[in-house]
Amino acid sequence: GPNSLGSKVVGANMIKAVIVVNNHGKARLVKFYQNVDSVSAQQSVIRRVFQQVGQRPDSFCNYLEGSVPEWGDDVKLIYRHYATLYFVFAVDSQESDLGILDLIQVFVEALDKCFENVCELDLIFHSDRVHYVLDEIIMAGMVLETNIVNILQAINDQHRMHMASNKAQPGTGNAVGRGRPSPHGAARPPPGL
């Protein structure tokens, strides 16, 4: 009848994906919360998202009705463009544009605090830490935490536990031993992201 909710569950509005691409469309962080079947379909989504946001002048508003067939018509792309990176949240069309823009800002501020001015190289060489920060903010497509103080506290706690476990097992926590460049030896472009 007219009072039924239909298939739309109130409160189930979701973030479908978080996609960070550089100015050339190269993915630097991808997290799908709504399943996309295959790797090729995921690549297609990333390409399509970049085509839609990458061509927009910075003077345009930061959200648009997305055209992503893998998710149907009910998608908005909400993004912020910082220096060389687009931070794009693909969301259910019911989500608040301003709320998601704030969430992107919180995510970037948390990354800035973790990496002392985050840059594209941090996303490449420290993707595990970047994913950890994102997981403090979003879980299963739902917003967990928006308070930057709580997010940074959780990240600092996790970092302390990581450092303590490395002290207990000398040599295992060395970034070089994991086949990644040492964070102290990696050349960093000037801050400004």
- For residue 188, is it within any domain? no
Whole-structure pTM value: 0.75
Range of the domain at 104: 15-154
- How far is it, in rounded angstroms, from Cα 187 to Cα 74? 42
pLDDT at 170: 58
User: Is residue 179 domain-resident?
Assistant: no
CATH code, domain carrying 93: 3.30.450.60
In a domain, 57, yes or no: yes
DSSP letter at 21?
Answer: E
What is the Cα–Cα distance from 64 to 79, expressed in whole angstroms? 9
pLDDT band at 169 (very low <50, low <70, confident <90, very high): low
In a domain, 123, yes or no: yes
State the Cα–Cα distance between residues 151 and 100, nearest whole angstrom: 16
Give the tokens for residue 188: 């960093």
- The count of structural domains within the chain is 1
Residue 6 counted as domain residue: no
pLDDT tens profile 3-46: 333 333 334 458 999 999 999 999 999 999 988 889 999 999 99
